[in-house]
Structure 1
């Protein structure tokens, strides 16, 4: 006999499938790096149950890179769903580009550290350990999105090592921080855990201590000019559903407290 969990999940997907079967659509989804692994794990089930297809466009939530989601929308690129850092989504809502009633909170993301595979994996469980590791490192890399901005502007300052880290740390644009650590270009790499875990050639050392942690809330919304808003809303409902949370957590994210 199937469990209640599996039965509810099947009924939920079946309901979406029934409502969408008559008219399948192609949805364009813009998603930023921190939620990408969870989205890629969940997208096939949605596509199968709804008969819709998903055209996925990747880009950071902010920054100067042309791939950044706000810059894509500013150029007039089309999207049915945008998934990004919550406060960056709120800015798009303020600008009138995203429907405020469509905002759905999806997951919390914490910052972690990685080293090159095969290197010693230091402990960063306490503030003192993290500070020592940073001071002893030859080079440090961090992302050009929310986690990197926090590290550069706040974390180093909180640990009292801003001056010492400035000459040997760098914000990495457009590409995963783990990739430059895997090549040996930088000794330590900091990024949201969900963006470090999929990168080959590195070892995940752990999350930074909770008292100096920065938790980033990811959220999704529907642009005002979305071509398929009803289908987009059903996708966001699925990504936030209880049935999606095991996949969300396995990607390195934390479920949003409900």
Structure 2
């Protein structure tokens, strides 16, 4: 009888140890990398045994859902994925371990119109300028891409006065979703945030000379409950093996 139950006991102990090692990780992620994370997170959970709880919010801004505001309120996170310079600010504040910072992907800005509407020309600076001037309304996000559009892009094109009255910074919700609902004629946001939204037609990226490339990075908050497991997740998200999935969401791999 001892010989019969010993292998069963060994298996049971192994299962218990495996369960004990599994961690429940809370991951806060902002829009630009979210589509890639939603693809890769379940794959990582399946191979690691860890449970990932996802919390969505912008990298910056006044919205209570913004990651810095969540952390300021004392919300718990094991991993934060966000715009690189916003992450750097959290590192300066002592809220994220500087040694944990991992570069994930680069994101460029694109443009959408409501599905069924003609796609305007935006391949050159002159075409983009004309498209924005002709649009009845223009929307952009309250995160990194929208800050650039509002503070720099319109000025570079020499159309800031004309766009001031008909452009809107959309807080918290995806810009493409508002365009799909007919709230705005044209939407500007990071490509990876535009592509997953139904009801719009993706026109393309802004011309490279007018582009703003946003680096997405990740780190581990200083109060993380599972820093070792969090590091394993970040190593996976930045690994060469997952770059095809990252690029498929509209992001560009970080040169290594």
Q: TM-score, normalised by structure 1?
A: 0.92
Q: Give CA-to-partner distance per residue, 1:86-116, whole Å, 9 cap, x none.
A: 0000000000000000000000000000000
- The residue aligned with 2:121 is 123
Change (3 A) 1:20 1:80: farther
- The residue aligned with 2:159 is 161
Instruction: Give the C-alpha shift of residue 41 in structure 1.
Output: 0.4
- The residue aligned with 2:54 is 56
- The residue aligned with 1:223 is 221
Give distance in 1, aligned partners of 2:110 and 2:145: 9
Given candidates 104, 107, 115, the residue that maps to 1:106 is: 104
Q: Give the secondary-structure state (helix, strand or coil) at the position aligned to 1:43.
A: helix
Instruction: Give the C-alpha shift of residue 20 in structure 1.
Output: 6.7
Q: Is the 8 A contact 1:21 1:50 kept in 2?
A: no
Q: Which runs of 5+ in 2 are unaligned?
A: 1-16
Change (3 A) 1:20 1:98: farther
Q: Give CA-to-partner distance per residue, 1:175-216, whole Å, 9 cap, x none.
A: 000011001111000000000001110000000000010000
- The residue aligned with 2:249 is 251
Considering only aligned residues, what root-mean-square deviation do their CA atoms show, in Å?
A: 1.0
Number of equivalenced pairs = 240
- Larger-Rg structure: 2
Q: Give the secondary-structure state (helix, strand or coil) at the position aligned to 1:219.
A: strand
Given candidates 176, 181, 185, the residue that maps to 2:174 is: 176
Q: Which runs of 5+ in 1 are unaligned?
A: 1-18
Q: TM-score, normalised by structure 2?
A: 0.92
- The residue aligned with 1:189 is 187
Q: Give the secondary-structure state (helix, strand or coil) at the position aligned to 2:54.
A: strand
